[in-house]
Amino acid sequence: MESKKWKNEKIGDFMENEKYYEIIAKKLDASIQGLSKIGTQGNVSDTWMEYLRVLIPPEDVKYLAELNVFPSTMTARKFAKKIKKSEEEATEILERLFKNDCVMRIGSKTRRYAIHAPFMLFDVPTLSYFKYPEEKAKKLATLSYKFMVDEEWYRNFEGSPDTPLSRVIPVRESVTVSHQILAHEDVLKIIESAQTISLQNCLCRMRYEFFGNRKCDHPLETCLGLNQGARYFIDRGLAREIDKEEAKKLVSEFRDLGLVHTTENFRDGHHTLICSCCACCCNLLGGITKWDNPRAVAAANYLANVKNITDCIQCETCVEKCNFNAITLNESGPEIDQGKCMGCGVCVVNCPSDVIELIRQEREEIYKDLPQLAFKVAKETNRDLKLF
């Protein structure tokens, strides 16, 4: 009799929790990237639902369901009123969810909380895989790969068919003096304007590192968090704070390795991340290099151009360093496929004979700010953005 009662209680708890997981999925689906396939809303896959069940502790799911999805945040005081607990109890719950990689936390004096945006729910746990219980880490890694690749969620992750959420930043030294590089296109100026900078492991490489099938030997520590993004990774214990000089030195080292700098596709407002991407691991470049999304990331408003072909020594460095297979080498020297060139400038700074340059060519719109970018992507993906 006791056994039957216990089973009924467990079934009741499961059904109650399931209701909250569905509420959270609905909120996430109404955010900029959503969970459902592009062009639809309200069709969250079983894979995503299972991922949420594994990531979000069942004892806290009913509390998480009361929060909004970032960037709409809530203080602990307001949250306490919603869940009918003291502010101290509410803060304890929020901090527990923060440490479980479920919420964004911003602010120092008055902390504010929100459910992570979909890309953060997808990416951040990779940095905790080696801290989680092994079974949890394996499930999250397997499920995340399934909905990203097999179910093509990379299309949501990268933006819309017309508007990428991220863009390539050209290497400053690859641009000739005669071509002005604008502040929002200059990685050094983006770093200079940042209030806080962090260095953490590459979120994409960490997933392959955990699986044991990483194809490159690039360093793991190549992601720079900026501003509130940096503060989050530092406070979460997933990154270390660095100064601007170290950050500038690192991006120079990364470009020499052939890594491509990317950031959010807007001009004004604080950026949160500068990635140094490779073609084999990166989920942004992967849309172009591995999967079927030619608009995965916006190109820089520059193109590689051969200027001194007679100086070419046929070393093939430019071919090897190009992440986009845009360069071939013929008998005379390099030949650039401008349809594939993303204007990153990696070939320019790595050419020992100064054969290639970047020339300016306006081919991409960089959006004013995040709201303008978000609503354009939402319109193009038939998504009704709401802040719950």
Across the chain, which has 388 residues, the per-10-residue mean pLDDT values are 49 75 96 91 95 97 96 95 97 97 92 96 94 95 96 96 94 57 73 96 93 91 96 96 96 93 92 93 93 94 92 95 94 93 94 93 92 91 68
CA nearest 358: which of 198, 137, 185?
A: 185
Judgement on whether residues 141 and 39 belong to the same structural domain of the protein: yes
> In this predicted structure, what is the pLDDT of residue 109?
84
> In this predicted structure, what is the pLDDT of residue 41?
86
Is the distance from CB of 43 to CB of 37 less than 8 angstroms? yes
How is residue 318 written in tokens? 């430019």
> In this predicted structure, what is the pLDDT of residue 317?
95
The CATH code of the domain that includes 287 is 3.30.70.20
Does the residue 149 lie in any domain?
A: yes
Judgement on whether residues 206 and 315 belong to the same structural domain of the protein: yes
Cα diameter, the chain: 89
Does the residue 257 lie in any domain?
A: yes
Judgement on whether residues 168 and 81 belong to the same structural domain of the protein: no
Angle at 292 between CA 288 and CA 297, to 5 degrees: 35
Judgement on whether residues 170 and 268 belong to the same structural domain of the protein: yes
> In this predicted structure, what is the pLDDT of residue 4?
53
Number of domains present in the structure of the chain: 2
Judgement on whether residues 131 and 265 belong to the same structural domain of the protein: no
- Domain of residue 13, residue span: 2-155
Query: What element of type H or E holds 329?
Result: strand 327-329
> In this predicted structure, what is the pLDDT of residue 185?
74
Does the residue 373 lie in any domain?
A: no
